C-alpha cells in the first residue's frame, strides 16, 4: 500500500529526515512513534506528496507517487497536522464538500456523522466547535469513504476517551477489511492496542521496531532512543549512521 525507499529530505535551517525505508502492507497497522522533532510529520508529508524528497521514492498502491493518477487519490484517507475545513461552513457542508471533491458521493454522510457522534453538530459552523469536535470532523472527512490506505498524524489529539475508542475501532475495522494504516502517536499504550508493528523514529531516521505485546513498552522505547543518541554522538557527521531494514529492525522532524 505504501513504500518509502531511501527517502531523504534536508532543510536549510535544520535537520531533516534521512534514508527512510518503510513498508505498510494491506491489512497492517503500522504505528510511528518518536519524540517531538524526530521527523514523524515530515515522513508523512513525504509519503503523501506534500513535500518532495531530495532523493528516494515514495510509492502508493504499487506505483511511484509522481506517476499516480489523480483518480487514485480517492483510495487514500489522510489527516496530517490540522484538519482542513472551511471555518464558516457547517460540519455537514464541510463533509459534503470533501465528498464532492473526492468524487465519492454524499450518500454516506449521515452514516459518517452518526459514526463520529457529530449528528447533533451537523449544522454548527466549524469555527464554533471545540478542538475535540474539530478533530472528529477531520477524521470523518478522512475516513468516511472507507479508504484503502490511511495516513494519520497524531489522530487522537484533543479527542476525549469516547472519541479515542471510536478511532481505535474504526482503524481496526479498516485494517480488517484490508486497508493499510500508518498512524503516528506519542501514546505508546494507545497504539500498542491496535498496531501490528511499532516503528521508532529518532533524529530523522527509522531506528528500530518494537513489539506491541512487549511489557514495559515505554521503557524499551526510551532506551532505544538513548542508545541511538549515544551512537550518533560517537559517529559525528553521519546523520544516517545506520539504516534499518523493512522488518525486524527498522523507523519525526516537523
Report the chain's mean pLDDT, rounded to a whole number.
Answer: 90
Per-range mean pLDDT, top range of 83-87, 89-93, 234-238, 247-251:
89-93
CB 175 within 8 A of CB 88: no
d(C-alpha 42, C-alpha 148), whole Å:
22
Q: What angle do the packed helices 131-143 and 161-176 form, to 10 degrees? A: 10
- Residue 254 located in a structural domain: no
Place of cell 509519503: 47
What's the predicted TM-score (pTM) here?
A: 0.89
| Number of separate domains in the chain | 1
d(C-alpha 101, C-alpha 144), whole Å:
13
Say yes or no to pLDDT of 247 above 70. Answer: no
d(C-alpha 67, C-alpha 75), whole Å:
15
pLDDT of residue 208: 96
Q: Is 185 exposed, middle or buried (0-12, 13-18, 19+ CB in 10 A)?
A: buried
- Residue 110 located in a structural domain: yes
- Strand, helix or coil at 117? coil
- Residue 107 located in a structural domain: yes
Q: pLDDT tens across 68-90, in order?
A: 998 888 899 999 988 889 999 99
- Residue 247 located in a structural domain: no
Confidence of residue 120 (pLDDT cuts 50, 70, 90): very high
- Residue 241 located in a structural domain: no
- Tell me, what CATH number does 19's domain have? 3.40.50.300
Q: pLDDT tens across 123-150, in order?
A: 999 999 999 999 999 999 999 999 999 9
Residue 191: its H or E element: helix 188-191
Other Cβ atoms less than 10 A from the Cβ of 202: the count is 24
pLDDT of residue 250: 38
Q: Rg (Cα) of the chain, in Å, rounded? A: 18
- Residue 31 located in a structural domain: yes
Among the ranges given (27-31, 53-57, 239-243), the one the predictor scored with the smallest mean pLDDT: 239-243
Say yes or no to pLDDT of 245 above 90. Answer: no
- Residue 78 located in a structural domain: yes
**Which range marks the domain in which residue 48 is found?**
2-234
- Residue 240 located in a structural domain: no
d(C-alpha 126, C-alpha 134), whole Å:
7
Amino acid at each position: 500500500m505504501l513504500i518509502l525507499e531511501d527517502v531523504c529530505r534536508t532543510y536549510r535551517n535544520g535537520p531533516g529526515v534521512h534514508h527512510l525505508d518503510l513498508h505498510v502492507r494491506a491489512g497492517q497497522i503500522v504505528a510511528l512513534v518518536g519524540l517531538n522533532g524526530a521527523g514523524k510529520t515530515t515522513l508523512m508529508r513525504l509519503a503523501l506528496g506534500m513535500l518532495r524528497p531530495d532523493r528516494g521514492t515514495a510509492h502508493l498502491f504499487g506505483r511511484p507517487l509522481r506517476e499516480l493518477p489523480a483518480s487514485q487519490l480517492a483510495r487514500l484517507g489522510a489527516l496530517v497536522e490540522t484538519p482542513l475545513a472551511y471555518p464558516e461552513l457547517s460540519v455537514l457542508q464541510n463533509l459534503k464538500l470533501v465528498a464532492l471533491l473526492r468524487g465519492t458521493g454524499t450518500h454516506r454522510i449521515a452514516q459518517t456523522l452518526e459514526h463520529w457522534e457529530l449528528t447533533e453538530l451537523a449544522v454548527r459552523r466549524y469555527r464554533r466547535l471545540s478542538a475535540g469536535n474539530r478533530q472528529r470532523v477531520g477524521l470523518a472527512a478522512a475516513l468516511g469513504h472507507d479508504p484503502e490506505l490511511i495516513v494519520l498524524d497524531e489522530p487522537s489529539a484533543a479527542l476525549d476517551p469516547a472519541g479515542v475508542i471510536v478511532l481505535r475501532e474504526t482503524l481496526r475495522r479498516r485494517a480488517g477489511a484490508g486497508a493499510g494504516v500508518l498512524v503516528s502517536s506519542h501514546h505508546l499504550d494507545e497504539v500498542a492496542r491496535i498496531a501490528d508493528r511499532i516503528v521508532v523514529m529518532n533524529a530523522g531516521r527509522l531506528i528500530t521496531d518494537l513489539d506491541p505485546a512487549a511489557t514495559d513498552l515505554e521503557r524499551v522505547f526510551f532506551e532505544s532512543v538513548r542508545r541511538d543518541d549515544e551512537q550518533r554522538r560517537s559517529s559525528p557527521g553521519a546523520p544516517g549512521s545506520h539504516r534499518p531494514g523493512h522488518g525486524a529492525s527498522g523507523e519525526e522532524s516537523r
